Amino acid sequence: MRLGRNPDIVIGDMDSVDKASLPDGAQVIDVPQQNSTDLEKALDFCIKQGVQSATLLGLSGGREDHMLANFAVMIDASAKLELSAVTDHHTVHPLTGERKFSFVSGATISLLTAHGEPAVTTEGLKYPLENEALCSGGHGISNVAEGSQFSVRVTGGVVLVFIGHGD
């Protein structure tokens, strides 16, 4: 709302928002249980509504613990929804299977193991991977898109694909 946008729907346990401060017309879905995060509640709502894809904003919540927990929630939910997250510096996609991405040539691309023991193959990156396990945290970091398109194929797990903004 500080950015001049009014929500259509507000979902969560309402422990950090004053309902009276919400704009008229916003549907409030109060899910009071504390065993899941507000993001989990929102994604569960989307799945029940038949939503196919969503872009997540504000994953950090200004706290690293929230950011890591929200990425974990995103990874889990990506089995049911096509998800991406936009952060201050990246667009992030959880990926299993194969996907082509279209972005500006020269963009920084980082790949991080999110779940399982994925084998990764890439095309269109400066440092190609051919059915490689990302054996360390730094193995898939700071690659570079060579053209306007690149592809990533993942088997045996989930990888987070980070695509830099404005590199």
| Window from 14-28, 29-43, 65-79 with minimum mean pLDDT | 14-28
- More confidently predicted of 145 and 2: 145
Residue 34: helix, strand or coil by DSSP?
coil
pTM for this one?
0.88
Position 81 scores a pLDDT of: 94
Give the CATH fold of the 89-167 domain.
Rossmann fold (3.40.50)
Query: Which residue from 131, 160, 141 is spatially nearest to 73, judged by alpha carbons?
Result: 160
pLDDT per residue over 40-96, tens digit each?
999 999 999 999 999 999 887 788 998 999 999 999 999 999 999 999 899 999 999
Please tell me the predicted confidence (pLDDT) of residue 137.
72
Could you report the per-residue pLDDT of 147-166, keeping only the tens digit for each? 889 999 999 999 999 999 87
Residues of the chain with CATH 3.40.50.10240: 1-85, 89-167
Kind and range of the H or E run holding 70: helix 64-77
- pLDDT bucket at 30, cuts 50 / 70 / 90: confident
Q: Which CATH superfamily is domain 1-85 in?
A: Thiamin pyrophosphokinase, catalytic domain (3.40.50.10240)
Distance from C-alpha of 107 to C-alpha of 39, rounded to nearest angstrom: 29
CA 95, CA 33: separation in Å to the nearest integer?
Answer: 30
Rounded average pLDDT over 115-123: 94
Please report the pLDDT score of residue 25 as a whole number: 83
Helix axes 64-77, 38-48, angle to 10 degrees: 20
